[in-house]
Amino acid sequence: GYWLGTPDGEYGYLTQQAVMALQKTAGLGRDGVYGPATRAALERGVVPKLVVSGNAVQISLANQVLTVVENSRIVAILNTSTGSGETYVSQGVTKTAITPKGTFSVIHEVNGLDHGPLGTLYRSKYFVGGIAVHGYTSVPAYPASHGCARVSNSALDMIWSRDPMPMGRTVVVF
């Protein structure tokens, strides 16, 4: 279930993202390197604990992992980076970069570049206010966003093509 795109025989960025998601889920160091401990976790079949059923997306703030669930089964596990907890200024207002916890649903989507006051987001799927799952060129191993859940641009392309996050789909952040 750790999504890495179409296998191409290369240990590229998407493979590193999948390895990082596994490492986060297993409670290992988050370096994106497939070493002995990571291999052991993969062989044990470590996957995120499901907190949703049916069709939903769950985002674990503790693990920094986004899990796509269809028919109560994991179909994709993605590395994500959520709110950093740092303060920032947007349009003259000081705010704190927090990804809110709760049960939400997809309320708005932008299939393309989404230009906002904090920068450009890729193919956004908003689930509460200005908070979205969106693609970004950098998805580090730690919380680094202004509150959104960043995934790789390729992962967002997969989400748009497979459609596991249509309008109204449940998004649980915990």
* 107-134 confidence digits (pLDDT tens): 999 999 999 999 999 999 999 999 999 9
Q: What is each CA distance from 139 to 51, 79, 103, 115, 165, in whole angstroms?
A: 23, 7, 23, 19, 20
Torsion of CA 27, 30, 15, 137, to 10 degrees: 130
Q: Which residues of the chain have pLDDT under 50?
A: none
pLDDT of residue 129: 92
Q: Which residues contact 15 (CB under 8 A, 6 or more apart)?
A: 4
CB 133 within 8 A of CB 151: yes
Q: So what's the pLDDT on residue 160?
A: 98
Which pLDDT belongs to residue 85? 98
Let me know the angle formed at the C-alpha of 33 by 21 and 74, rounded to the nearest 5 degrees.
20
Predicted pLDDT at 71: 97
Query: What pLDDT shows up at residue 79?
Result: 98
pLDDT attached to residue 174: 98
pLDDT of residue 96: 97
Determine the pLDDT at residue 4: 95
State the pLDDT at residue 156: 97
Contact (Cβ atoms closer than 8 angstroms) between residue 132 and residue 124:
yes
